[in-house]
Amino acid sequence: MRHIAADGSRVAVATTTDKLNTCDRIIVWSPRKRSFVQFNPGTHCDTAPTIDDIQELALAGKTVYWLDADGGMGISLQVLSHTLGTNKTEPVSPAAMYSLSAYKSDDYGPFTFLGNLFGAGGLVVFNSWTACMEIPAGELGATCPKSAPSDGTVILYSDQKLLEVVNGTGVEIASAPDTQTSVPDVSYQLSPVASAVAPAVVAVDANRIAAQNADGSVVIYSASGAALQSIPIPSGKFSGFALQGSQLVTIRNGRLELYDVSSGKLVKTTRLPAGALLRGLQKGLAAYVTGPEMKYSNPAFDTYVYRKVHVLRLSDGKGVTYSAPAVNGKNLIHLMPETSSVDAQIEASGLFYSYTLVRGRSPGRVVFVPFAEVLKKLG
């Protein structure tokens, strides 16, 4: 299993397989109705040595949205959609293009990107932007509109847009001026760095959007793109955001921070285990996942293999933990980091979490815990 995305009483799951000439699947499960629908998103359907993958997944009502990556050295990105009850996959955005040799000699860009796809209810949003590596003025191969101010590596971000899906098409509702970012090692820039764009979508609820600026601050937008509130969150290392009602939650520098949306003030801080990743907020309950295993670490980012799902009640700090089943004290989830991580989403209907077994014809699993049962376990 690669991604899950929940909305209301449904959860969408993007699955992948290593079998030759076997397409990936997206499955939408309604546990209360005890029914599911599956369809072919068109990825991994052949044996050609290319990238063909679902990068991000969102669910809004009866429509599934995903960010599709396809190509060899040149990668095409596109947001696609599929509405349950139909047999069609529809494009939501024009294709963006970048290169796997991006920012190396004579391949400085500009490249176009898509990312930060989020959905809830009838609201679906994402970002688009252009990135180009600036080199000193006069040097051969310069392609950016501006030149680097020094010999250091500088990435120019331009055409930074926040788009909402309207009648099946991404429509710009907000934008930001060009920005320059110094990068210590351009090898980290070989794929989209969605957090670099501004305003970067970080969370949505049914009718509002939370988008983060380069300085860490978050702006709350209406569905039409009107700026409603600015929350002065300091810069730091962020591990997820969630927005609902009067509450905005983030994990920053290993601590869960609760902000009041109306006042923009920090209300509460809670220390969490290293590597915790926020996965949702519902009625004062925050869902997050933890390791403890780190896949690898470098100066740009850490990557964790998540093993446990936690639900934390913000009012009193009481929590409950869920994990994959175990036999003889050993966890059954697969040892390969790409397929083993536990993931979670929390909605008004309840908690959804996923994991992948070591073996079996259909090793992927999604568990649904009704909201009332989560509350009962919290006491």
Digit-coded pLDDT (tens) for 90-143? 999 999 998 877 666 667 778 899 999 999 999 999 999 998 877 665 556 556
Structure tokens belonging to residue 368:
């649904």
* Residues 217, 367: Cα–Cα separation, whole Å: 35
- pLDDT at 336 (0 to 100): 41
Interatomic CA distance for residues 80 and 168, integer angstroms: 9
Whole-model pTM: value is 0.89
Best CA proximity match to 29, nearest among 354, 310, 356: 354
Q: How much is the pLDDT for 150? A: 60
pLDDT score of 195 more than 90: no
Name which residue leads in pLDDT, 71 or 50: 71
295: closest CA among 277, 280, 279, 321? 277
- 120 vs 246: CA distance, rounded Å: 16
User: Nearest Cα to 366, choosing from 374, 73, 350?
Assistant: 350
Q: Would you state the structure tokens that stand for residue 44, as one six-digit string?
A: 């991994």
**Nearest alpha carbon to residue 56 among 107, 112, 124, 5:** 5
Q: Are 171 and 163 in contact (CB under 8 A)?
A: yes
Distance in angstroms (rounded) separating the CA atoms of residues 231 and 219: 6
Q: How confident is the model at residue 6 (pLDDT cuts 50, 70, 90)?
A: very high
**pLDDT value at residue 146:** 62
| Average pLDDT over every residue of 201-213 | 95
Report residue 149's pLDDT band, with 50, 70 and 90 as the boundaries. Answer: low
- Tell me the pLDDT band of 73, cut-offs 50, 70 and 90: confident
Confidence at residue 2, expressed as pLDDT on a 0 to 100 scale: 77
DSSP string, 178-225: -EEEE-S-GGGGSS--GGGSSSEEEEE-SSEEEEE-TTS-EEEEETTS
> Given this model, what pLDDT does residue 297 score?
45
Residue percentage of the chain with pLDDT more than 70: 77
pLDDT at residue 238, as a whole number:
94
Which of 90, 67, 91, 92 has its CA nearest to residue 77?
Answer: 67
12, 6 in Cβ contact below 8 A?
A: yes
> Residue 355: is its pLDDT beyond 90?
no
pLDDT at 292: 55
* Highest averaged pLDDT of the listed ranges 110-124, 287-301, 324-338: 110-124
Residue 309's contacts (CB-CB under 8 Å, 6 or more residues apart) are 279, 287, 288, 289, 321, 322, 323, 342, 344, 351, 353
Q: Which position has the higher pLDDT, 212 or 151?
A: 212
pLDDT at 190: 43
- The confidence band for 335, taking pLDDT boundaries of 50, 70 and 90, is very low
Choose between 299 and 79: higher pLDDT. 79
Confidence at residue 106, expressed as pLDDT on a 0 to 100 scale = 65
pLDDT of residue 74: 85
Of the chain, the percentage scoring pLDDT greater than 90 comes to 57
Give the span between the Cα atoms of 144 and 110, in whole angstroms: 7
Summarised one tens digit per residue, pLDDT across range 230-264 is 999 999 999 999 999 999 999 999 999 999 999 99
- Separation CA 273–CA 278 (nearest Å): 12
- pLDDT beyond 60 at 49: no
At which residue do the structure tokens 């959905």 appear?
119
Q: Which residues contact 347 (CB under 8 A, 6 or more apart)?
A: 6, 7, 8, 9, 280, 282, 371
Instruction: Indicate the domain borders of the chain.
Output: 272-379
- Give 153's pLDDT tier (boundaries 50, 70, 90): low
Q: Which phi and psi angles does 372 have, rounded to 5°?
A: -60, -35
Q: Provide the pLDDT for residue 98.
A: 86
Whether pLDDT at 47 is above 60 = no
Helix (H) or strand (E) holding 76: strand 74-83
